[in-house]
Amino acid sequence: MEPSNLAMFWAAVVCASILIYVVLDGFDLGVGILFGTVRDEATRVAMMNAIAPVWNGNETWLVVIGASLFAAFPVAYVVFMGAFYIPLLLLLSGVIFRGIAFEFRFRTQRMRPLWDWGFFLGSAVMAFVQGAAVGGMIIGIPVSNGQYSGGTFRWLAPFPMMTGTGLVFGYALLGACWLVLKSKGALHDWARRRIPWLVAAVLVVMFTVFWATADLNPLARGNLHTRPWGLISAGIGIIALIGVVAGSRSKQDWFPFATTVLFFISAFLALGAMFWPYIIPYSITVGNAAAPDASLSFFFLGAVVILPLITVYTIQVYWIFRGKTRDVTGE
């Protein structure tokens, strides 16, 4: 079934929201992951200051994704919930622990180690389950009679575990580049030194995933072969990672973050080449999952008001809090 124009609009909304979420919430999750690797209190405070003005608003796009999928593609929503029910619960738990830890660690000395672990583990778990969900989609989601027909822990198969680990490294890289962009002094130098190692880890996982995908899923491999732009996107991603390392050695603090964002965009496009026209790979297409056009038209009226407001708010926040954060490390 060919998707209608309204279904294509909502598919574009979901895809754009996922990409925006990955970039924006990805760097603050990455900072949270890196947070767990340091012990110095001044450095930890500087890390949190680097994301304090924007981290909460970044998660708005996660709500947009869920609401859009529920309203516009109810069939896909049902299958996705069935396939990734436990990862979604872990994701929500990570959101809760991160939020509580972010506020509470500054209000107690005795319980601070607990909230520090909550912030680190919440960030790492959120990154891991997102990556595991991507891995589960790459190998395909079994569907029977419009319902998920796979096992409860299928998302813990070796391949999703590998993609989950890869996204943890990817978000950590994005977080390190954000710290280079926003901080100065000791934290800036510390983050800069981590970039080459994180790029190496991402490259290793990326090549392993690419090789395993070609072996595990012939349909995904075939889609890449018939859509050369997917392979071109993957190539651009590799070049972008090389640019991240080169940029980390320059004095242009914006360049590593910009090239890391380019890498994530390239990876997203490569996934699109594998998946399209499926919204639930490789069982349910966009056209088959879409709600009736009457419902999509009704939701469209809300989208043309709400989505621009969220976009303008996001841009304004980043504009207001542009520039470097104050160095609290004393160096």
Q: How many CB atoms lie within 10 A of CB 76?
A: 25
Report d(CA 155, CA 164) in Å as an integer.
10
326 belongs to a structural domain: no
List C-alpha distances in Å: 106 to 109, 116, 129, 266: 8, 10, 28, 38
CA 75, 222, 136, 157 torsion-angle sign: positive
H helix runs in the chain, sequence order: 5-35, 41-51, 55-58, 60-72, 74-83, 85-104, 112-139, 158-182, 186-216, 218-226, 228-248, 254-275, 286-289, 293-320
Q: What is the DSSP code string of 283-297?
A: TEEHHHHPPPHHHHH
Residue 257 is predicted with a pLDDT of 93
Ordered per-residue pLDDT tens for the chain, 331 residues: 677 889 999 999 999 999 999 999 999 999 999 998 998 888 888 898 888 888 888 888 888 898 888 889 998 999 998 889 899 999 999 888 888 888 888 787 788 888 889 899 999 999 999 999 988 888 888 888 878 888 888 888 888 999 999 999 999 999 999 999 998 888 888 999 999 999 999 999 988 887 777 666 777 777 777 777 878 888 898 899 998 988 888 778 889 999 999 999 999 988 888 888 888 888 888 988 888 888 888 888 888 888 999 999 999 989 988 888 765 544 4
**Residue 20's closest CA among 57, 48, 51?**
57
Q: How many CA within 13 A on the CB side of residue 122? A: 20
Q: What is the CATH number of the domain that holds 209?
A: 1.20.1630.10
- Give the C-alpha distances (Å, rounded to integers) separating 53 from 65, 248, 325: 22, 24, 10
Give the count of domains, the chain: 1
- Residue 327's pLDDT is 57
> Can you say how many angstroms the Cα of residue 303 is from the centroid of all Cα atoms in its chain?
22
pLDDT of residue 113: 86
Amino acid at 34: L
CA distance 7 to 171: 31
| DSSP string for residues in 23-48 | HHHHHHHHHHHHHTT---HHHHHHHH
Give dist(CA 55, CA 72) in Å, integer. 27
Residue 302 falls inside a structural domain: yes
Measuring CA to CA, how many Å separate 125 from each of 28, 161, 164, 198?
A: 13, 12, 9, 18
Of 325, 311, 225, 264, residue with least CA distance to 13: 311
Q: Regarding beta strands 147-148 and 284-285, do their DSSP bridges make them parallel or antiparallel, or are they unpaired?
A: unpaired
What is the largest distance, in Å, between two alpha-carbon atoms of the chain?
A: 62
Question: Residue 119 is encoded by which pair of tokens?
Answer: 């912030």
Q: How many CA atoms lie within 13 A of 119 on its CB side?
A: 30
pLDDT at residue number 214: 66
Domain hosting residue 148, numbered range: 5-320
Any domain includes 329:
no
Cβ proximity of 194 and 176 under 8 Å: yes
Structure tokens at 156: 């813990």
Q: Which residues pair with 34 in a beta bridge?
A: none
Task: Report the C-alpha gap between 110 and 113 in whole angstroms.
Answer: 8
Residue 286 lies in a domain: yes
